[in-house]
Amino acid sequence: MAGPLATCTKEEQRSVIRFLRSEGVKPIEIHRRMEVQYRDACLSLQQVYKWSRKFLNSVSSVKDSPRPGQAHRVVTPEATAAVEAIMKENRRVTVHEIAAHLDMSHGSAHHIIHDVLQFHKVSARWVPRQLTAELKERVDACQELLKRFEAEGAGFLGRTVTGDETWVHYHQPETKKASKEWRHNSSPELKKLHTQPSAGKVMLTLFWDEQGVILEHYMPRGNTVTSTTYAHLLKNHLHPAIESK
Protein backbone atom coordinates (compact mmCIF):
# COMPACT_ATOMS: atom_id res chain seq x y z
CA MET A 1 0.00 0.00 0.00
CA ALA A 2 1.38 3.40 -1.01
CA GLY A 3 2.05 5.88 1.74
CA PRO A 4 3.64 9.30 2.37
CA LEU A 5 7.41 9.61 2.01
CA ALA A 6 9.06 9.73 5.41
CA THR A 7 12.09 11.77 4.35
CA CYS A 8 12.93 13.92 1.36
CA THR A 9 15.25 16.67 0.21
CA LYS A 10 14.53 19.96 -1.51
CA GLU A 11 16.44 18.74 -4.55
CA GLU A 12 14.20 15.67 -4.77
CA GLN A 13 11.05 17.80 -4.71
CA ARG A 14 12.46 20.17 -7.30
CA SER A 15 13.15 17.18 -9.57
CA VAL A 16 9.48 16.20 -9.21
CA ILE A 17 8.45 19.76 -10.14
CA ARG A 18 10.70 19.67 -13.21
CA PHE A 19 9.32 16.31 -14.35
CA LEU A 20 5.64 17.20 -13.88
CA ARG A 21 6.10 20.68 -15.38
CA SER A 22 7.61 19.09 -18.51
CA GLU A 23 4.36 17.10 -18.83
CA GLY A 24 2.34 20.32 -18.71
CA VAL A 25 0.98 19.93 -15.17
CA LYS A 26 0.07 23.29 -13.65
CA PRO A 27 2.01 24.46 -10.53
CA ILE A 28 -1.08 24.43 -8.27
CA GLU A 29 -1.79 20.79 -9.20
CA ILE A 30 1.88 19.90 -8.70
CA HIS A 31 1.75 21.40 -5.20
CA ARG A 32 -1.46 19.52 -4.36
CA ARG A 33 0.05 16.17 -5.40
CA MET A 34 3.31 16.84 -3.57
CA GLU A 35 1.48 17.75 -0.35
CA VAL A 36 -0.06 14.28 -0.27
CA GLN A 37 3.36 12.62 -0.25
CA TYR A 38 5.62 15.09 1.54
CA ARG A 39 3.14 16.43 4.13
CA ASP A 40 4.77 19.09 6.37
CA ALA A 41 8.11 18.83 4.53
CA CYS A 42 6.50 19.86 1.23
CA LEU A 43 7.73 23.01 -0.47
CA SER A 44 5.37 25.97 -0.34
CA LEU A 45 3.13 26.88 -3.26
CA GLN A 46 5.26 29.98 -3.81
CA GLN A 47 8.38 27.81 -4.15
CA VAL A 48 6.60 25.50 -6.61
CA TYR A 49 5.70 28.52 -8.81
CA LYS A 50 9.26 29.87 -8.52
CA TRP A 51 10.92 26.64 -9.67
CA SER A 52 8.30 26.07 -12.37
CA ARG A 53 9.27 29.41 -13.93
CA LYS A 54 12.98 28.49 -13.69
CA PHE A 55 12.48 25.19 -15.50
CA LEU A 56 10.39 26.92 -18.20
CA ASN A 57 13.34 29.31 -18.67
CA SER A 58 15.68 26.40 -19.52
CA VAL A 59 17.13 26.01 -16.03
CA SER A 60 17.99 22.34 -15.51
CA SER A 61 19.79 22.26 -12.15
CA VAL A 62 17.73 21.54 -9.05
CA LYS A 63 20.37 22.95 -6.69
CA ASP A 64 20.53 26.49 -5.34
CA SER A 65 22.85 28.82 -7.20
CA PRO A 66 25.85 30.00 -5.12
CA ARG A 67 25.23 33.44 -3.69
CA PRO A 68 27.82 36.20 -3.98
CA GLY A 69 29.90 36.39 -0.84
CA GLN A 70 28.59 33.10 0.51
CA ALA A 71 31.26 31.54 2.72
CA HIS A 72 32.50 28.07 1.95
CA ARG A 73 32.24 26.11 5.16
CA VAL A 74 34.79 23.43 5.90
CA VAL A 75 33.48 21.07 8.59
CA THR A 76 36.16 18.90 10.15
CA PRO A 77 35.60 16.03 12.60
CA GLU A 78 37.70 17.92 15.15
CA ALA A 79 35.53 21.06 14.91
CA THR A 80 32.36 18.98 15.14
CA ALA A 81 33.64 17.11 18.21
CA ALA A 82 34.66 20.38 19.89
CA VAL A 83 31.21 21.95 19.31
CA GLU A 84 29.45 18.83 20.61
CA ALA A 85 31.62 18.77 23.74
CA ILE A 86 30.78 22.39 24.54
CA MET A 87 27.04 21.82 24.04
CA LYS A 88 27.00 18.73 26.27
CA GLU A 89 28.81 20.65 29.00
CA ASN A 90 26.42 23.61 28.82
CA ARG A 91 23.04 22.93 27.21
CA ARG A 92 22.16 26.65 27.26
CA VAL A 93 25.24 27.91 25.43
CA THR A 94 24.52 30.19 22.46
CA VAL A 95 25.79 29.89 18.90
CA HIS A 96 27.68 33.18 19.32
CA GLU A 97 29.48 31.88 22.43
CA ILE A 98 30.49 28.65 20.67
CA ALA A 99 31.81 30.56 17.65
CA ALA A 100 33.82 32.92 19.88
CA HIS A 101 35.22 30.08 22.01
CA LEU A 102 36.38 28.03 19.00
CA ASP A 103 37.38 31.05 16.90
CA MET A 104 35.09 30.15 13.99
CA SER A 105 32.45 32.09 12.09
CA HIS A 106 28.88 32.28 13.34
CA GLY A 107 27.67 30.60 10.16
CA SER A 108 30.02 27.63 10.59
CA ALA A 109 28.97 27.14 14.21
CA HIS A 110 25.29 27.34 13.23
CA HIS A 111 25.84 24.85 10.38
CA ILE A 112 27.57 22.31 12.66
CA ILE A 113 24.93 22.61 15.39
CA HIS A 114 21.80 22.45 13.23
CA ASP A 115 22.83 20.57 10.08
CA VAL A 116 25.62 18.26 11.22
CA LEU A 117 24.79 17.48 14.86
CA GLN A 118 21.01 17.96 14.37
CA PHE A 119 20.58 19.89 17.64
CA HIS A 120 17.51 22.06 18.28
CA LYS A 121 16.84 24.37 21.21
CA VAL A 122 13.72 23.35 23.12
CA SER A 123 12.14 25.25 26.01
CA ALA A 124 11.38 23.48 29.27
CA ARG A 125 7.77 22.38 29.73
CA TRP A 126 5.93 23.76 32.75
CA VAL A 127 4.46 21.13 35.08
CA PRO A 128 2.34 21.73 38.23
CA ARG A 129 4.93 20.17 40.55
CA GLN A 130 7.76 17.67 40.71
CA LEU A 131 6.52 14.28 41.91
CA THR A 132 8.37 12.88 44.91
CA ALA A 133 8.80 9.16 45.57
CA GLU A 134 5.81 9.31 47.95
CA LEU A 135 3.60 11.01 45.38
CA LYS A 136 4.60 8.47 42.73
CA GLU A 137 3.46 5.72 45.11
CA ARG A 138 0.09 7.49 45.32
CA VAL A 139 -0.13 7.48 41.52
CA ASP A 140 0.49 3.73 41.50
CA ALA A 141 -2.18 3.26 44.16
CA CYS A 142 -4.69 5.31 42.16
CA GLN A 143 -3.99 3.28 39.02
CA GLU A 144 -4.55 0.07 41.00
CA LEU A 145 -7.88 1.43 42.27
CA LEU A 146 -8.94 2.27 38.71
CA LYS A 147 -8.13 -1.27 37.60
CA ARG A 148 -10.26 -2.68 40.42
CA PHE A 149 -13.13 -0.34 39.53
CA GLU A 150 -12.99 -1.45 35.89
CA ALA A 151 -13.00 -5.09 37.00
CA GLU A 152 -15.63 -4.92 39.79
CA GLY A 153 -17.85 -2.04 38.67
CA ALA A 154 -19.86 0.33 40.87
CA GLY A 155 -19.92 -2.16 43.74
CA PHE A 156 -16.27 -1.42 44.38
CA LEU A 157 -17.07 2.25 45.10
CA GLY A 158 -19.65 1.21 47.70
CA ARG A 159 -16.89 -0.53 49.68
CA THR A 160 -14.40 2.35 49.41
CA VAL A 161 -13.73 4.64 52.38
CA THR A 162 -11.82 7.91 51.90
CA GLY A 163 -10.08 9.96 54.57
CA ASP A 164 -8.42 13.36 54.81
CA GLU A 165 -7.11 15.77 57.43
CA THR A 166 -7.56 19.51 57.89
CA TRP A 167 -7.00 22.16 60.54
CA VAL A 168 -10.18 23.46 62.20
CA HIS A 169 -10.03 26.85 63.98
CA TYR A 170 -11.93 27.48 67.19
CA HIS A 171 -13.32 30.69 65.65
CA GLN A 172 -14.12 31.39 62.03
CA PRO A 173 -14.63 35.10 61.22
CA GLU A 174 -17.88 36.15 59.62
CA THR A 175 -17.72 36.25 55.84
CA LYS A 176 -18.51 39.37 53.82
CA LYS A 177 -21.56 37.70 52.32
CA ALA A 178 -22.90 36.70 55.74
CA SER A 179 -22.62 40.32 56.98
CA LYS A 180 -25.01 41.71 54.34
CA GLU A 181 -28.02 43.68 55.68
CA TRP A 182 -30.97 45.43 54.05
CA ARG A 183 -30.38 49.20 54.12
CA HIS A 184 -31.82 52.44 52.70
CA ASN A 185 -29.71 54.94 50.79
CA SER A 186 -29.87 57.22 53.83
CA SER A 187 -28.84 54.51 56.30
CA PRO A 188 -25.46 54.89 58.07
CA GLU A 189 -22.57 53.14 56.38
CA LEU A 190 -22.13 49.60 57.58
CA LYS A 191 -18.62 48.89 58.86
CA LYS A 192 -16.94 45.60 59.64
CA LEU A 193 -13.69 45.29 61.56
CA HIS A 194 -11.04 42.98 60.18
CA THR A 195 -10.57 40.03 62.54
CA GLN A 196 -8.06 37.23 62.54
CA PRO A 197 -8.88 33.56 63.15
CA SER A 198 -8.19 32.42 66.67
CA ALA A 199 -4.79 30.89 67.29
CA GLY A 200 -6.50 27.86 68.73
CA LYS A 201 -6.97 25.06 66.22
CA VAL A 202 -7.29 21.30 66.16
CA MET A 203 -6.57 18.61 63.57
CA LEU A 204 -9.73 17.05 62.17
CA THR A 205 -9.55 13.67 60.43
CA LEU A 206 -12.66 12.93 58.40
CA PHE A 207 -13.64 9.58 56.86
CA TRP A 208 -16.53 9.11 54.43
CA ASP A 209 -17.93 6.79 51.78
CA GLU A 210 -20.44 7.24 48.95
CA GLN A 211 -23.33 7.55 51.44
CA GLY A 212 -21.83 10.20 53.71
CA VAL A 213 -19.57 10.80 56.71
CA ILE A 214 -18.50 7.75 58.72
CA LEU A 215 -16.20 9.26 61.33
CA GLU A 216 -15.09 12.69 62.57
CA HIS A 217 -12.01 12.41 64.73
CA TYR A 218 -10.35 15.39 66.46
CA MET A 219 -6.71 14.90 67.38
CA PRO A 220 -6.04 15.67 71.08
CA ARG A 221 -3.98 18.82 71.59
CA GLY A 222 -0.27 18.21 71.86
CA ASN A 223 -0.36 15.06 69.70
CA THR A 224 1.08 14.79 66.22
CA VAL A 225 0.09 12.55 63.32
CA THR A 226 2.53 9.66 63.14
CA SER A 227 2.30 6.13 61.78
CA THR A 228 1.57 4.88 65.32
CA THR A 229 -1.21 7.37 66.05
CA TYR A 230 -2.72 6.85 62.59
CA ALA A 231 -2.70 3.07 62.99
CA HIS A 232 -4.38 3.52 66.40
CA LEU A 233 -7.02 5.74 64.78
CA LEU A 234 -7.77 3.15 62.09
CA LYS A 235 -7.97 0.25 64.52
CA ASN A 236 -9.76 1.77 67.52
CA HIS A 237 -11.96 4.44 65.90
CA LEU A 238 -12.51 3.89 62.16
CA HIS A 239 -12.95 0.10 62.25
CA PRO A 240 -15.64 0.22 64.98
CA ALA A 241 -17.37 3.08 63.12
CA ILE A 242 -17.53 1.03 59.90
CA GLU A 243 -18.83 -2.02 61.79
CA SER A 244 -21.47 0.13 63.50
CA LYS A 245 -22.62 1.51 60.15
What does the pLDDT look like over 170-218, one tens digit per residue? 766 667 777 777 776 777 777 766 665 555 788 899 999 988 899 999 8
Residues listed for the chain: 245
Q: Can you give the residue ranges of every domain in the chain?
A: 10-56, 77-116, 155-171+198-245
Query: pLDDT at position 66, please?
Result: 65
d(CA 189, CA 183): 9
Number of H helices, E strands in the chain: 10, 3
Average pLDDT over residues 158-164: 88
Q: Which pTM value belongs to this model?
A: 0.36
Q: Ranked by mean pLDDT, which of 119-123, 124-128, 220-224 comes out on top?
A: 119-123
Percent of the chain whose pLDDT exceeds 90:
29
Angle between helices 77-89 and 95-102 (to 10 degrees): 130
pLDDT of residue 30 exceeding 80, the answer is yes
d(CA 241, CA 207): 10
d(CA 147, CA 93): 46
d(CA 89, CA 49): 45
List residues bridging with 208 in a β-sheet: 162, 213
165-179: b (≥16 Cβ within 10 Å) or e: eeeeeeeeeeeeeee
pLDDT: which is higher, 1 or 51: 51
pLDDT of residue 38 exceeding 80, the answer is yes
pLDDT of residue 74 exceeding 80, the answer is no
pLDDT: which is higher, 18 or 1: 18
d(CA 27, CA 46): 9
pLDDT band at 68 (very low <50, low <70, confident <90, very high): low
d(CA 18, CA 21): 5
d(CA 161, CA 238): 10
